[in-house]
A = this chain, B = another copy of it.
Amino acid sequence: MPTPAVHVGPQENPQLVEAVERGGGKVVALADAEALVVAGGHGDLPELHEGIRWVQLPSAGIESWVSSGVLDEQRTWTSATGAYSHAVAEGAVALLLAGVRGIGRAARLQTWDNATLDGVQGTLRGSTIAIVGAGGIGKAMIPAFLGLGARVLAVTRRGLPVEGAYETWAADRVAEVFEVADHVVLAAPATSQTQALVGADELAALGSDGWLVNIARGSLVDTDALVAALADGTIAGAALDVTDPEPLPDGHPLWTEPRCIITPHSTNPAVLRVAALADRVEENVRRFAAGEELLGLVDLSAGY
């Protein structure tokens, strides 16, 4: 088995260096490297020489790298897609459950007001939860939702069966899920196809008992339509890890909307992220050395 020569940069990161070594690689200067593990940065890369055959990007969503035009066909690119799946999935489950069970409202109370909480609660038990974009993160939510007594309707690009979902629909039927599902979790990549996927019509279809969770990208939701739907009670609530614009500016109406919970892009917190990325780097260096297919291969034509 060859020992891959891997550079870790531009930032120093002892945990990623150790992960490269655990995976069977040696850490070298960029000039001597055949592979690059990108530590830090967002859309920026060092100048890549022809010897670099593989670049491991540090994030699961790679729009900033795509839009900066640095991804080329001359080498293999991998994102960290899937590496953070469990942490983000757990965050999404926490957001939906907190919303439906009134925890967001409760956390703001400073007096024993159970009438308010009585009036706003529902249950996930027996409900239908649509996961729009059942990739690694979406799939990782399914056992928790099943454990809570819900059933899952999955939406994927091509509609191939997803384990644990009672049905999987192709992306061209996505508008229908807002009619069928009690709650919708957005976990789809940000692409031109998913831009403003959720607008006034979808929110009206979701209905006054429905919660919308967005842990994907803010661009999937028309923010003005969401603000209006929350103010009018068109939907029960929204739990957002991502917003548009992001960061959400101080004074934005969503900050004080009682039906809204915002975790500021925090479902993948640093404390859980570093360990997860190191595990992925270790595994991909091992695969690179063995000539196996890497995890998280980027499809340049799809943009993710």
**Chain A positions near chain B (C-beta within 8 angstroms):** 86-87, 90-91, 93-95, 97-98, 100-114, 117-119, 121-125, 143-149, 246-250, 255-256, 261-267, 269-272
Contacts and interface: CB of A to CB of B under 8 A. Distances in A.
Given A94-B98, A107-B107, A147-B147, A121 B266 contact: yes
Nearest to A124: B90
A263 to B, nearest CB: 4
B146 A103 contact: no
- Which of A86, A94, A110, A123 has the most chain B CB within a 10 Å cutoff? A94
Contact of A101 (B91, B145, B262): B91
Contact of A95 (B103, B246, B247, B255): B103
Given A91-B101, A101-B267, A117-B264, 8 more contacts: A90-B148, A102-B269, A108-B108, A117-B266, A118-B271, A121-B271, A123-B272, A143-B147
Contacts of A118: 266, 269-271
A78 to B, nearest CB: 23
A94 B264 CA distance: 19
A261 B106 contact: yes
B90 A101 contact: yes
Contacts of A247: 112
A121 B272 contact: yes
- Which of A90, A112, A113, A256 has the most chain B CB within a 10 Å cutoff? A112
A104 B102 contact: no
Given A97-B93, A123-B90, A255-B109, A103 B263 contact: yes
